[in-house]
Amino acid sequence: MTSPIRVLLADDQQMIRAGLRAILDHEPDIEVVGEADDGVDACAAAIGLRPDIVLMDIRMPRRDGIVATRAIRADPQLADCRVIALTTFDDDEYLAGALKAGAAGFLLKDATPTELLNAIKRVHAGHALLDPSLTQQVLDQWVGQRSHRVQNAALASAVSRLSPREHDVWRLVASGASNREIAAALYLTEGTVKTHVHSLLTKLDSPSRSHLVTLAYESGLVRPGSGE
């Protein structure tokens, strides 16, 4: 029998945590292992409980969700722990910061129970998660109104070292494709795709798959609204 997905709830509002727990406690393949009401306790709970997923409020006292996410993703003991950033407002600066810190993706707190459950399962399976209602705002904040060319010298240098096949995989990652879908599209094995994704994360100094998506837009590999 497959072990349930272990989830830690981090939010400074007790009612939000209670609502999330009420949804998740009804799922046989998900287990809420703990709660935290600020960023400091969230980091401590993550170390002590080793959850698979942390549902992380962006704005919390003592240590905000961005700083807490960065600390969790930097801890070798928590290499398998993924963070989903949660917010109640369309604050693209904070959301972009969460992705830069290593969050696997983000959701609005008014997401439906089905969207929440799908997000947890998708991130646990290793996929990127970008809430469609916020993705364009985050991309606009990163890319701005400038022409679609590489703006950062370090990123430009890293991109120039990618192989043609890595570019192909990166473009499909940016489209939201899973490793299985990428493998089918490029006639590769899933193991080979995983190797290419790992290489992209390393070469582009990226903390997460979702960050690869935003870098694809920032570099000009994919253009907002182009459907590429």
Same domain, 56 and 78: yes
pLDDT above 70: residue 82: yes
Dihedral angle computed from the Cα positions of residues 144, 148, 154 and 157, in that order, rounded to the nearest 10 degrees: 170
Same domain, 117 and 215: no
Same domain, 134 and 164: no
The verdict on residue 156 lying in a domain is yes
Same domain, 162 and 61: no
**Domain stops at, among 109, 141, 173:** 141
**Domain stops at, among 85, 107, 141:** 141
Same domain, 110 and 129: yes
The verdict on residue 51 lying in a domain is yes
Share of the chain above pLDDT 70, in %: 82
pLDDT above 90: residue 63: no
Same domain, 150 and 103: no
| ∠ CA 211-217-219, rounded to 5° | 95
Region 4-24 average pLDDT:
94
3-state secondary structure of 53: strand
Q: What are 151-177's pLDDT values in tens digits? A: 567 778 888 899 999 999 998 888 777
Crossing angle, helix 190-203 and helix 164-174, to 10 degrees? 90
**Domain stops at, among 113, 141, 169:** 141
Same domain, 102 and 173: no
Q: Which domain holds residue 87?
A: 5-141
Can you give the CATH number for the domain in which 201 is found? 1.10.10.10
Nearest alpha-carbon partner for 8 in 76, 74, 80: 80
pLDDT tier at 36, thresholds 50, 70, 90: very high
Q: Which two tokens stand for residue 68?
A: 């807490």
Same domain, 168 and 133: no
Share of the chain above pLDDT 90, in %: 39
Per the structure, the count of domains in the chain is 2
The verdict on residue 130 lying in a domain is yes
Same domain, 136 and 36: yes
Question: Tell me, what's the pLDDT at 89?
Answer: 61
pLDDT above 90: residue 179: no
Same domain, 103 and 86: yes
Region 20-33 average pLDDT:
94
CA distance 29 to 3: 7
The verdict on residue 224 lying in a domain is no
For residues 46 and 80, the model is more confident at 46
Same domain, 10 and 38: yes
The verdict on residue 185 lying in a domain is yes
Same domain, 128 and 170: no
Can you give the CATH number for the domain in which 105 is found? 3.40.50.2300
Nearest alpha-carbon partner for 34 in 57, 11, 61: 11
pLDDT tier at 97, thresholds 50, 70, 90: confident
